[in-house]
Amino acid sequence: MADPMPMTDSPITTVAPGWAIAALGILGALAVTAAMLDGALAARAGGGPGGKMGGPVRPFGEAARLMRQRRRTTVEADRLLWRIGGAGLLVVAALMVTVVPLGEWTIFDLDVGVMWFNAMDVMVWALVWLTGWGANSAHSLVGGYRFLAHGLGYELPLMFALVAPAIAAESLNVGAVAAAQEGLWFAVWMPVAFLVYLLGVAAFSVWGPFAPAIGTDVSGGARVELSGVDRLVFEAGRYALLAAGAAFAVPMFLGGGAGPLLPGWAWVLVKTVALLAVLVWLRRRLPAFRPDKFMEVGWMLLLPAVLLQDLVVAVIAVWRS
């Protein structure tokens, strides 16, 4: 029987593990850039703590405030799981970017890199829920379950959105997927999968329309009991997840490092920053999705649409082969 998904030789070079430190530095710089842009947009809108004050430097002031703040705990909290949930978002974001090629280099050139990314985003389910559950607080627990409800709506469409580029490239290797877009980005002829993927990135980052899990109507939701450094790490994890999601979109849908004049690694960074800016900008442009309503949207609209996209891609891939 023929292999339905033959592995393609990767055009990517694996670098020494020590370069992981540089990758973490780039991820941190992207997360700080997103926070600064978000602060600037918040100041322009005159919303959030501090009104119009601060702008791009507001995240630094907030970080300094949280680092000075005393860590609060709650009665009978499961501190270990609570801390794992709050800090785990940063770890997951770091693991996501290990398979993202920076031009021709990558940390891990896995044959199943696409599945690796998908597995990491599923881990966010557990981490956000643990943040809400570990505090032994009603409001944070409600926030955790809200996130799970959103997860039921976005995860399957996100998974099938990742399938479309893999089918077209006939590989689950991220470098091979990027190389398969020579001459035409997948975002151009897979617009449904691309948009569903971006929606999934916002969702697992608890961002924009998916913020009800940390909504003010439940006093901050899953993060309500986090304070001091714990809250700073949780917020940094959200920005890092947003940056990791934008970076992964580049080899999957935006041609990887392909582009004129600049070297491949520079194009990856340029495309990542541009997409990250769009995601940050959309935060205040879309209404919040009620978890129960979004489940209907996810299962009745997004899932059939992305499955149809996968079918079209599969037919084209068979025809081309």
What is the pLDDT tens value at each position of the chain, 321 positions in all? 344 444 455 677 888 888 889 999 999 999 999 999 999 998 887 755 555 556 888 888 989 999 998 888 888 888 899 989 989 999 999 999 999 999 888 999 899 999 999 999 999 999 999 999 999 889 999 999 999 999 999 999 999 999 999 999 999 999 999 999 988 999 999 999 999 999 999 999 999 899 998 888 877 788 888 999 999 999 999 999 999 999 999 999 999 988 898 999 999 999 999 999 999 999 888 888 998 899 999 999 999 999 999 999 999 999 987
Between CA 201 and CA 216 the distance in angstroms is 22
pTM of the model: 0.92
Cα–Cα distance between 186 and 189 in angstroms, integer? 6
Interior/surface letters 255-274, b for 16+ CB within 10 angstroms, e for the rest: bbbbeeeeebeebbbebbbe
Which whole-number Å values give the CA distances from 214 to 139, 143, 208, 269, in the listed order?
A: 10, 6, 10, 30
Q: Can you give the pLDDT at residue 7? A: 47
pLDDT at 149: 92
What is the Cα–Cα distance from 239 to 28, expressed in whole angstroms? Answer: 9
Report the C-alpha dihedral over residues 1, 190, 237, 130, rounded to 10 degrees: -60
Using alpha carbons only, what angle is made at residue 58 by residues 238 and 270, rounded to the nearest 5 degrees? 60
**pLDDT score recorded for residue 6:** 45
Domain boundary assignment for the chain: 15-36+58-320
Whether the CB-CB separation of 71 and 228 falls below 8 Å is answered with yes
In this predicted structure, what is the pLDDT of residue 53?
55
Distance from chain centroid for Cα 321: 33
Query: What was the pLDDT predicted at 292?
Result: 87
Q: Burial level of 284, CB count in 10 A (0-12/13-18/19+)? A: middle
pLDDT of residue 9: 56
